[in-house]
Amino acid sequence: MQLNAILSNINNVNGKFIEQAQRRLDNLTKPQGSLGRLEEFARQLVSITEKPMPALDKKVVFTFAGDHGVADEGVSAYPKVVTQQMVLNFLSGGAGINVLARHAGADVVVVDIGVDGDFGNAGESRNTPLQIRKIVRGTKNMRQEPAMTRDEALRCIDVGIELAHEYAKKGYAMFGTGDMGIANTTPSSAIASVLTGKPVEEVTGRGTGINDETWKHKVQVIKDAISFNRPDPSDALDVLSKVGGAEIGGIAGLMIGAAANRVPVIVDGFISTAGALIAYSIEPKTKDYMFAAHMSQEVGHRAMLEKIGLRPVLDLDLRLGEGTGAALAMLIIEAGLKIYKEMATFGEAGVSEKA
């Protein structure tokens, strides 16, 4: 399988490139460290790409779409058909991710990895590309049976790896992740609980805006799913297959593939971070290539970020998904790189350095 073949290609970033970037940052016309995390972003980009002056001209956000059998348990405020309807909205360019990606100068690629429906040639006449990489037609109801087989989960990861390879070869130098799937905060909360060890109540939020009664029901559904399936916390693939989702697997694979290709990947919100946690649990070195876009309103998001060791770029009370936070964070991360590349050094500007 592609996953096993690629893991040996992932290495931690090289400290000498961090030091090289730091020397330049310290010689720019400003007090050392005065641009805070913008300098951190520049250092990380230099170390990821191993290029003294990285170029991020081509950026892309992948929005992975999949349906979830657990939606039948009434854990979402929206019906399952909305997944398919929103994919068509993405393809027409009318969704939040389309607007913010245009603002960030990034392309959007929609990936049907598990939608319970067909789009035919819908992608051919739309503004946004559609990649049909369907592994399942929606997952099974994880309260009653495993969401996917282990082979299906592995194939979802392989889809993300393949996309990372393809788009790196096309010259894309920064990836963002996004998701669409009604009820997908439920498997994401299950993944968060299993892999962080936190109680289900502490990592389960309100998703699309459910009320107190539905939230209590959602918590019980997740507890039942974990109790029934008994996912192994030491085996991320087991967790993904039993209580995960196709789009979560695709996102995990994209992060693994990004790391193997030395491409920075911007992790969107709660669902994308569930994918990041799967990737990190499979290969911890993937963390070096990740940027956490923002802190979601979903309560379990912080626990997953802390488990990986990521600090979010933004905190804007977002909870939309789609990759919207990733698109916004691209602007800030790229600002750090522009400071690093375009700001004059003391010598170039003829400015006296600190005595």
Which residues are the active-site residues?
A: 322
Report the phi/psi class of residue 309: left, alpha or beta, with left for phi > 0 and alpha for psi in -120 to 50.
left
CA distance readout (Å), 29 to 22, 34, 348 = 14, 10, 9
What whole-number distance in Å separates Cα of residue 224 and Cα of residue 233?
A: 16
Residue with tokens 């969401």: 147
What whole-number distance in Å separates Cα of residue 211 and Cα of residue 217?
A: 10
CA distance readout (Å), 184 to 9, 78, 295, 301, 310 = 31, 11, 18, 13, 22
What whole-number distance in Å separates Cα of residue 170 and Cα of residue 172?
A: 6
- From the number of C-beta atoms within 10 Å of its C-beta (0-12, 13-18, 19+), residue 299 rates as middle
Q: Which residues lie below 8 Å from residue 355, measured CB to CB, with a gap of 6+?
A: none
SS3 label, residue 214: helix
